[in-house]
Structure 1
């Protein structure tokens, strides 16, 4: 496959408006690509216009699972300088929604599998591609694959999320919790006839924050750091002279193994129960996201191979592709996450963001052979998202070498 053909695949993937939906269309396109290369694949329904795609090359054990998601987050069109669903090149930067997170990684894995198949590369084992739906909101697709047993015989998992030239082997969990307050509307000149939902919401949020902070105080993970608690959204009230009858807020909590999601949820529910029992408030909560933290093995074979295979590519990329300004920015970003920048080394690290690994490794939250490694940079979900063309093409070659070495 030549470079023009590889770029055309990424361009086609970007053109699918798979914004938290319609992943089935992406899956069908990938299925046709794989079929043309004589690689069998299976569509695994999720719901509606959503589906996963599973494909394999090779046979027997060990099984290397490789995964990437087909959905993307929404866009604010007015903030984009290009059409977000049309891959646009400006120098080495390829702009488009999902270019970094994570259609470049998905394309690179699929192209690598196709080229290995076409070259009749011998394997002592199996590569299983699992392209998922719904990663960005709830990881529904990964849950379906786990529940249907696609991970039961997988020995090692590689997630092609945008790591750049780092090798994350641990990721925090995530809780998205909606706190709802129901009161009674009234004229603001006569508040005694109402029940102020906003005031109740503020009061209970303060109590929740204090209770969770108390839990977090002495709990730390050496790789992932501390639990992170945020109040990200708050709504309430409709006009200046009306007591609000409803209000709500959204909490986002990034979790570590030492303070479980369940413990946090039980604590928040206890605060709500006590508040409702002692005030006129009517507070409830809904959990929209509940994924666990994952801590793999820093010395796993897959990480050692990533470091061995990718190091020359990283050195070439930092030396010959990245501008001086971008290189300086990379050094600053590395420092901010506690990583010493080294252009010829692939550092094994922990990260704050979650991946489908939280669902796929649900029964192996610690000690799994797992790495996140894919093309991309630090702008997922941002306006004017882009990926380096050089890095994208490098990762195709890296994946081919990595898969071959792993299944020697």
Structure 2
């Protein structure tokens, strides 16, 4: 395939992927998974469509090698966030090509990566190169919320025999090797309702939440600063309490978004919060509160000294004459499911800028898409052939 043909096919595949509306929630990833399944089968892979119900699915393809080496896994997610309420310059599901850019929801996050991986795989298969290990392509559902697809993939043994992972998240064609974790909790305080004219007959849950927040403000995480992702953060995101101005509120709820760094124990945070609740229960009459975990994503990291990371950096140097330094990101990916299940070297590399993700007028450049195809091709060759 010459460069013009490669470019044309990569653009067409990405445009078709963008036109599948896979907004999570609800997801509706199955039609896109079926489209990818057909492409993988045309290339010659053994393919499984894993139906998750409710019009959702994973698709997994495998190209067999000789078994001399462990498998290489390429992973990406099928779902996107909604386009939002702000008017787009180009329709969010058009895949319009304008001034060397492809526009559309999911173009960067991360259907561009999925498309580039597919084209690279086709090039590898057409080349006739003999793979010394299996190549696995997995496109999973639900990464933007609960990673339902990645969890099912791991549960089904998808990581068995895998020696390295590339996740095609947007990285501006650089190498990311670490990501912050996400730990979201809901905390509720409970009181007793009463008429607003007789507040002493009630127990005000909002006032009790104020007491909890006053303690929380001075809370300090236990952690070691990570040179790639820095320090943990906490955002008190929402608060809800009371039903009417003339009623004493009997419940108040907050949600908290904490972004953690590698090495932190999320349930140590829960235990610390429980200590605050117990302290207030002893100090304040009728104080009651509880904690519910909403999202628990571990912070993960592959060391920069790992041979697979070095292979990626060296490949970029050799093929594009660029020096790159591995970086970390503040958001989470399906790596937060994969790496706690099996400690495998993992990098994130893909077309597009992560700052375009979830934004109106999301787009990637055609140049970054083609560069990603080339990188993926060379990584398959360098890891599974040479």
Considering the TM-score relative to the shorter chain, is it more than 0.5? yes
CA distance in 2, matches of 1:30, 1:210: 50
Is 1:359 the counterpart of 2:337? The answer is: yes
Q: Which residue of 2 aligns with 1:10?
A: 14
Q: Which residue of 1 aligns with 2:107?
A: 99
Q: Which residue of 2 aligns with 1:267?
A: 272
CA distance in 2, matches of 1:364, 1:279: 47
Is the 8 Å Cα contact of residues 165 and 346 (structure 1) preserved in structure 2?
no
Is 1:345 the counterpart of 2:323? The answer is: yes
RMSD of aligned residue pairs (Cα, Å): 2.2
Is the 8 Å Cα contact of residues 310 and 398 (structure 1) preserved in structure 2?
yes
Describe how 1:104-143 pairs up with structure 2 within 5 A. 104-143=112-151
Q: Describe the superposition over 1:134-166 as per-residue Cα deviations: whole angstroms up to 9, x where unpaired.
A: 111122211111122111211111111111132
Q: Which residue of 2 aligns with 1:381?
A: 358
Is the 8 Å Cα contact of residues 297 and 370 (structure 1) preserved in structure 2?
no
Evaluate the alpha carbon distance shift between residue 257 and residue 395 of structure 1 in structure 2; reply closer, same or farther with a 3 A threshold.
closer
Evaluate the alpha carbon distance shift between residue 41 and residue 186 of structure 1 in structure 2; reply closer, same or farther with a 3 A threshold.
same
In structure 2, runs of 5+ residues without a counterpart are none
Q: What is the aligned length?
A: 375
In structure 1, runs of 5+ residues without a counterpart are 316-343
Q: Which residue of 1 aligns with 2:177?
A: 169
Describe how 1:279-290 pairs up with structure 2 within 5 A. 279-290=285-296
Is 1:293 the counterpart of 2:299? The answer is: yes
Q: Which residue of 2 aligns with 1:323?
A: none
Q: Which residue of 1 aligns with 2:345?
A: 369
Q: Which residue of 2 aligns with 1:67?
A: 75
Is 1:397 the counterpart of 2:374? The answer is: yes
Is 1:83 the counterpart of 2:91? The answer is: yes
Describe how 1:16-31 pairs up with structure 2 within 5 A. 16-20=20-24, 21-31=27-37
CA distance in 2, matches of 1:201, 1:193: 18
Please report the TM-score for the alignment, with normalisation by the length of structure 1: 0.85
Is the 8 Å Cα contact of residues 101 and 366 (structure 2) preserved in structure 1?
yes
Bigger shift: residues 251-260 or 105-114: 251-260
What's the offset of the Cα at 1:131? 1.1
CA distance in 1, matches of 2:178, 2:350: 15
Match for residue 314 of structure 2 among 308, 311, 328: 308
Q: Which residue of 2 aligns with 1:320?
A: none
Evaluate the alpha carbon distance shift between residue 260 and residue 309 of structure 1 in structure 2; reply closer, same or farther with a 3 A threshold.
same
What's the offset of the Cα at 1:239? 4.5
Q: Describe the superposition over 1:151-189 as per-residue Cα deviations: whole angstroms up to 9, x where unpaired.
A: 121111111111113211111211011222343444444
